[in-house]
Every structure is written in structure tokens, then in C-alpha cells.
Amino acid sequence: MSMISHLFSIRATTCLTRNILRATPIRLLSSASSSPNKTTNANDHILPKELPSSEKRKAKFNISWKTVSVTFIGAASLIAFIYYLDQRKMQKRKVLQRAAVGKMAIGGPFSLITHERKPVTDKDFRGQWLLIYFGFTHCPDICPEELEKLSEITDLLRRDKSTQKNPFQPVFVSVDPERDTPELVSTYIKDYSPHFIGLTGTREQVAEMCKHYRVYFSQGPKVGDDYIVDHAIIMYLINPNGEFVDYYGRNKNAKEVAYAIEQHMNAFKESNK
């Protein structure tokens, strides 16, 4: 709506300008035309109050059209620039809105061990952007798909060297602690990216983290010793302050997620200058 009011105000300015200029050319041209007519016209000494109608028409077209088109071009570029700024502001606002909504309810402390058997907590990841995916190694199709996506996102975000101050760290957390030992997780994630960190732990540790992240997971019916774990398929974005910022489901592809994360990274950089 603000765009329309902008347009109207500029049209009004253009109209006003045109009307003002219509008044001036008469005075300007009359002083010019009086000199060539001096020697020939008897009524010359009297400054004509009005130009003959044909001259008047010519005067209007000569000056006001040029000025109007210049004003128009100026107005059009001004509108385009305002529109561009408006769009950028809207985009930034959208991204920050999502961040604000999510911050309240999701995330929290966790204490697990990495695929290299190193104990870690959420505090060890401060200063990094985390994208956390919850899954399990015996997953038939969804986890491999999502981990391929996570690998692609990682490559896209690590391309930009400017993010090095707060590096991007993809994390895989197992929701199948009974089977997923650190060694198993290590073998599994290496197939997707050398940059992944895999986390696992005791059932209590995993359950605790899933409670904070509102991640649903449930062991399915057993066939012999085997079973499939039903779980939420979401990637969670955590900022360098350890705060939950955004989440991404199966409906977004790698490029879309990487782009969204970049917006958050830029917003974070801006607010922490």
C-alpha cells in the first residue's frame, strides 16, 4: 500500500511541475522573439502580453515535454530504488520473525559423545552455527536422503570464506543409542561428508536432548533383532550463541536451506557488529 501512495505523490509532483512550467515559457520566449522582430514590426516596442496562439503551442511542447520526461525518468528510478529497499527490508524481517518465534520454545543443553569418543556438551559448540539432524544408522531411506542434503548444504556454506569467524558445523545425532555406538556412527557419517560430527550416548542422554528439541522418536516393531526407529525428520539451526533459530523439513531442498541459513548468518553478523 505504501508503494501506491508513493506513486500518487510522485504523479502529483509531476502534474504540478508541468503546470508551473506552462506558465514560464511564455515569459522566456517572448524576450527571445522580440529581438528578431525589432526591425520589421511596427508594434514592436510594446511587449506583447501574449504570444500568438501557434507560438504559445510551440512553447508548451518545447520545454514542458522535456522537463516532464526528465521528471518521469527521475521519478521512475526513485520508485524502483524505493521498491528494491522495501523488498530487502521485508525479506530481512521475515527471516528475523521466524527466528524470534522459535527462540522461545526449542533447544537446550545436551551432553553426548562424538563419533571419536570425545565427550561434548552444547557449550563446546558456542561460536559455531550448528545444523542438527536426528536419525539412526539403520535407517532405510530417509536418513540417507537427508544426510546427502546436509552434505550439499555444508558444501554450499563452506564455499564462502567470509563465514569463517563463525564456522558452519553439520551434526548428526543418533536416536538409536542401543545400536549406534560411536564407531558405527563414525563409519556411517564418513560416507556422507568428512565435515560431519556424529553424536550418540546413553538412552537417557539422547532422550534428554530430544526432549529439549521436541524431537519425537520411537522404536518400531522388532523383526528378530532388527527394528526401524520412527522419528521427526527435521534439521535444527542453532546460532553461535547456542540459541535455536530455525528449522527445515523435507519440503526444502539443499539450496533453499543454505540460502535461508545465509540470511540468518548475515542478520547475526549485522546485529553483532
Partner 1 sequence: MSVIDKKYREKCWLTRDDYWKCLDTNKEEKEKCLQLRQLFESSCPATWVTHFDQKREYDIFKRQLALGEVETDKLKSIKGPSKP
Q: Output the CA–CA distances (angstroms, integers) from residue 41 to 34, 47, 49, 132, 166, in the order listed.
A: 9, 12, 16, 92, 84
Q: How many residues bind partner 1 (CB under 8 A)?
A: 15
Interacting residue with partner 1 among 144, 152, 166, 233 (CB under 8 A): 144
**Which residues, 6+ apart, have CB-to-CB distance to 23 below 8 Å?**
none
231 labelled ligand-binding: yes
- Residue 199, SS3? strand
Closer Cβ to partner 1, 107 or 182, answer by number = 182
Residue 174 in contact with partner 1, rule: CB under 8 A: no
Instruction: Supply the minimum distance, in Å, between the C-beta of residue 209 and partner 1.
Output: 23
The span of 63-71, 105-113, 139-147, 263-271 binding partner 1 (CB under 8 A) equals 139-147
Residue from 4, 140, 164, 271 in contact with partner 1 (CB under 8 A)? 140
Name the H helices within 48-141: 53-59, 65-103
Residues 188-247 close enough to bind partner 1 by CB under 8 A: 188, 191, 220, 223-224, 226-228
What is the SS3 assignment for 104? coil
Looking at the Cβ atoms of 115 and 264, the one nearer to partner 1 is: 115
Binding of partner 1 by 138 (CB under 8 A) = yes
Q: Which is nearer to partner 1, 74 or 220 (CB)?
A: 220
Is the CB of 107 or the CB of 177 nearer to partner 1? Answer: 177
Among the listed residues 123, 136, 101, 134, the one whose alpha carbon sits nearest the alpha carbon of residue 214: 134
Smallest distance from the beta carbon of 233 to partner 1, in angstroms?
A: 14
Q: Which is nearer to partner 1, 103 or 138 (CB)?
A: 138
Q: 173, 184, 197, 261: which one contacts partner 1 (CB under 8 A)?
A: 184
Axis-axis angle for helices 254-271, 142-158 (nearest 10): 50
Is the CA virtual torsion 17, 18, 20, 21 positive or negative? positive
Rule CB under 8 A: say whether 37 interacts with partner 1: no
Q: Which of 187, 241, 253, 272 binds partner 1 (CB under 8 A)?
A: 187
User: Cβ(237)–Cβ(261) under 8 Å?
Assistant: yes
Which helix (H) or strand (E) covers residue 230, if one does?
Answer: strand 229-231
Indicate the pairing of strand 197-200 with strand 168-174.
parallel
Tell me which residue of 89, 110, 112, 147 sits closest to 238, measured CA to CA.
110
Residues at the contact surface with partner 1, assessed by CB under 8 A: 137-138, 140-141, 144, 184, 187-188, 191, 220, 223-224, 226-228
